[in-house]
Amino acid sequence: MILAVLALGGAILGATTIAGLLMVYEVRQASDLNNSAKAVFAADAGIEWGLYQFFNPSSTNPRPTFGNNATSTTSCYDAGDALLPDCRDEAVSTIRARGSAGNVSRAFELTF
C-alpha cells in the first residue's frame, strides 16, 4: 500500500513539475513582445530582400541592417530544396528568412 502511494505521488509530482516548467516557458515567450515584434519585422525584411534580389538580379544592394539590434538571415532554395548561393538564380523556388532579436527568433518562408 505504501509503495503504491509513493509511486502515485511521484507520478503526480513529476507531472506537475513538467507542467510548471512548460508554463514558465510560455509566460517568458509571451512577455517578450518587444523582441518578438522586432524579430517578425526582421524576418519580413529578409523575405523582401530575397524577392528584390530575385526580381532585380543585377542589383548590388547589401543586406538590410537594423538599428534596433535585430538580425535577419535569408536563404534561397531550388525546387529540390538545395541551398543556392543567393536569390539571383532563376532556379529559386523557396525563400526562407529568419529574424532574431534578443533571444527571440521568428521565421517566414515564401514558396513560388
Please check whether residues 98 and 44 belong to one and the same domain: yes
Domain count for the chain: 2
Please check whether residues 38 and 27 belong to one and the same domain: no
Q: What are phi and psi of 31, to 5 degrees?
A: -80, -10
Q: Is the pLDDT of residue 46 over 90?
A: yes
Please check whether residues 54 and 107 belong to one and the same domain: yes
Q: Which of 28, 26, 37 is nearest to 105 (CA)?
A: 37
Mean of the per-residue pLDDT values for the chain? 90
Distance of CA 69 to the CA centre of its chain: 16
Please check whether residues 42 and 1 belong to one and the same domain: no
Residue 4: CB atoms within 10 A of its CB come to 8
Q: Which domain holds residue 15?
A: 1-31
Report pLDDT for 1: 86
Q: Note the pLDDT tens digit of each residue in 58-108.
A: 888 888 889 888 999 999 999 988 999 888 888 899 999 999 998 889 999
Q: Is the pTM of this model over 0.85?
A: no
Please check whether residues 101 and 52 belong to one and the same domain: yes
For residues 27 and 66, the model is more confident at 66
> What's the CA gap between 33 and 106, in Å, rounded?
12
